[in-house]
Amino acid sequence: MKQVQDAVVDMYEKLPVPYGLVRFGVAPDHPEVKNCQDTFEEVAASPRFNYIGNVEVGTTLALSDLKPHYDAILFAYGASEDRRLGIPGEDLPGVYSAREFVGWYNGHPQFAHLKPELDQGECAVIVGHGNVALDVARILVSPLAQLRKTDIADHAVAALARSTITRVEVVGRRGPLQASYTVKEARELMQFDRVGFESAGLHKFYPENTKTLPRVQQRLADVLLKGSPVKAHDYKKRWQLSFMQSPHAMHVKKNRFGEPIGDRVHSIDFQKTEFVPGADPMSKDARVQLTDEIVTSEASMVFRSIGYKSTPLPGLSDLGVPFDERLGIIPNDAHGRVISPSAGPGNLSAGHLPGLYAVGWVKRGPTGVIVSTMMDAFTTADVIVQDWSASSPFLNGEKGRSASTGLGWDGVKDSVVAQGVTPVDWEAWKRIDKAERERGKEKGKVRLKFVDEEEMKVAAGLA
Ligand SMILES: Cc1cc2nc3c(=O)[nH]c(=O)nc-3n(C[C@H](O)[C@H](O)[C@H](O)COP(=O)(O)OP(=O)(O)OC[C@H]3O[C@@H](n4cnc5c(N)ncnc54)[C@H](O)[C@@H]3O)c2cc1C
Ligand SMILES: NC(=O)c1ccc[n+]([C@@H]2O[C@H](COP(=O)([O-])OP(=O)(O)OC[C@H]3O[C@@H](n4cnc5c(N)ncnc54)[C@H](OP(=O)(O)O)[C@@H]3O)[C@@H](O)[C@H]2O)c1
């Protein structure tokens, strides 16, 4: 909008409320991270921007119906699934994906009814060594008094108050120098009054002098090696990092005859790993291979936190857009132009599908923090402007800009409303926002989110 003075942008969101993972992913005890919403407020204030919430593209609104009314479509729909481990026992009761659990404590309508059983035992195992894994660990061991003040969902506070989990083991398949969590998140877990930290054999992964490591890894090493000041006899809860273990199978409890007792998860087996021959164990990219050694952890709950996954939007292929199932992305030229590898030989942009662009996790895969996602968005916006300025073909024919009806949302609104769907515009979202803040104030919280879509619509004055 800044660079093309007459550009109008319609943003479709499947939920009534905006902000994606900033609202439903970022941990409730990290409110400062959500300040990026202020920047978005400024964008939304433009009369050339329209927020259209509660409209799911691909289902409520077919891509082929959108196409005639726009010059360009930008895919920014993130990663709404997660990777699976593909091991026996993964679907046992008591096993959750971190994505579901995060959505649950953040009040995502889809996961409000998850009811994770936090009171079935003492040990939780989290598989994966990324920041999402540490977010989950922190929520499990955080003092409730601290969490209550955040915008965490009320149902999560109630369930965490009943939690019997006192031991959280976070297991990675490689070593600490290959972990993808960051120093701030590790440090936070060392700072709780009554939470201890254990990690047997951590020293063996590091050089004698950690100052020889690259700066980022050195800072993380310092935090992990220093550990928590909480002494064992002061532990109420403890968390542990385990390394070089790849998940192998999950099991229910068995009696002494080997017969199953109950149906929920009770333990998880890991296959120990070792660095592949020739790998440099100090390198972030060092690869590992499986050994024959199995170790078992007790687990009354297991969280798999091994990454999110994008999926193809229904109807993508109607626009000739391919989907890379392996990488979980819409193929693009790295700047954000959607490409069809079969559409043209030669350089990448030869296969550019006119008028189609991608950004964020569906463009790059499910990694990257808000800042990197924003930088990536600026790049994609720049290439759209570049293509527009160069009079490149856009949607709806070779001539591009004049070929679309130019109606945008007005061209499809009637068909959406005729399905009984109530679109939520920016003013309606602001009413939801205000109601959430007021509800929160009464409870000493920054906001109390609505977790039910109907409640959101009522607060918006739309139901
Ligand atoms: C648990 C978690 C915690 C995180 N914490 C931090 C943090 O503390 N700090 C940090 O910097 N980064 C954090 N990140 C990373 C950050 O959230 C991402 O980099 C960023 O949100 C990715 O943006 P995106 O626009 O690609 O996807 P999203 O934020 O997921 O946005 C995609 C949007 O598209 C909508 N959508 C999906 N399908 C459709 C459809 N068919 N029609 C219409 N709308 C649709 C979704 O509802 C969603 O609102 C975290 C990520 C996770 C998973
Ligand atoms: N506070 C924050 O800033 C914050 C909070 C949350 C999320 N985020 C960001 O959001 C992005 C996503 O985070 P994430 O934690 O979901 O993903 P991630 O950083 O990619 O971490 C995924 C973890 O899962 C492991 N893994 C993958 N497949 C596995 C398998 N089959 N078996 C065992 N382990 C497996 C990976 O190990 P390998 O390395 O061996 O593959 C890695 O340790 C990241 O960029 C993250 O920084 C940021």
Q: Which DSSP string corresponds to 394-424?
A: -SSSTT-TTTS---GGGGTHHHHHTTT---B
Q: For ligand 2, atom 2, which residue shows the shortest CA distance?
A: 131
Closest CA to 108 of 56, 153, 158: 153
Best residue among 169, 173, 310, 363 to mutate for probing ligand 2's pocket (most ligand atoms within 8 Å of CB) is 173
pLDDT at site 156: 98
Query: What does the block give as tokens for 375?
Result: 């930088």
List residues near ligand 2 (CB under 6 A): 85, 127-133, 135, 172-174, 178, 180, 185, 246-247, 305-308, 366-369
Q: Is the CB of 15 under 6 A from ligand 1?
A: yes
Q: Is the CB of 30 under 6 A from ligand 1?
A: yes
CA angle, 384 then 46 then 434, to 5°: 125
* Amino acid of residue 174: R
Ligand nearest to the CA of 303: 2
Give, for 453, the enclosing helix (H) or strand (E).
Answer: helix 453-459
pLDDT at site 289: 98
What are the sequence ranges of the domains in the chain? 9-79+310-457, 81-308
Question: What spacing in Å lies between the alpha carbon of 313 and ligand 2's midpoint?
Answer: 24
| CA dihedral (190, 196, 199, 204) positive or negative | positive
pLDDT at site 351: 85
> Which segments of 72-153 does DSSP mark as H helices, in order?
98-105, 131-141, 144-148
Q: What is the value of pTM for the model shown?
A: 0.96
Burial of 362 (0-12, 13-18, 19+ CB in 10 A): buried
Q: Which CATH number fits domain 9-79+310-457: 3.40.50.720, 1.10.10.10, 3.40.50.300, 3.10.20.600?
A: 3.40.50.720
Query: How far is Cα 170 from Cα 245, in angstroms, rounded to an integer?
Result: 10
Q: For ligand 1, atom 49, which residue shows the shortest CA distance?
A: 20
Contacts of 105 (CB under 8 A, 6+ apart): 28, 139, 152, 153, 156
pLDDT at site 200: 85
> Which segments of 176-309 does DSSP mark as H helices, in order?
183-189, 215-226
21 in a labelled binding site:
yes
Say if residues 223 and 190 touch (Cβ distance below 8 Å): yes
Query: Which atom, in ligand 1's list, is nearest to the CA of 76?
Result: 25
pLDDT at site 400: 47
Partnered with residue 295 across adjacent β-strands are 270
Q: Is the CB of 361 under 6 A from ligand 1?
A: yes
User: Which residue spans within 276-325 are E strands per DSSP?
Assistant: 288-298, 301-304, 308-309
Q: Which CATH number fits domain 81-308: 3.50.50.60, 3.40.50.300, 3.40.50.12780, 3.40.190.10?
A: 3.50.50.60
**Start-to-end C-alpha separation, the chain:** 32
Query: How far is Cα 190 from Cα 74, in angstroms, rounded to an integer?
Result: 41
Query: Which atom, in ligand 2's list, is nearest to the CA of 174?
Result: 40
Query: How far is Cα 127 from Cα 2, in angstroms, rounded to an integer?
Result: 43
Query: How far is Cα 180 from Cα 129, in angstroms, rounded to an integer?
Result: 6
Ligand nearest to the CA of 55: 1
Residue that the structure tokens 């024959």 belong to: 292
442 in a labelled binding site:
no
pLDDT at site 342: 64
Say if residues 367 and 347 touch (Cβ distance below 8 Å): no
The rounded average pLDDT for each run of 10 residues, N- to C-terminus, in the chain (463 residues) is: 95 97 97 92 95 97 96 96 96 98 98 96 98 98 95 97 98 97 97 93 93 94 95 91 98 94 96 97 96 98 98 94 93 92 56 94 96 96 95 76 84 97 97 97 94 95 89
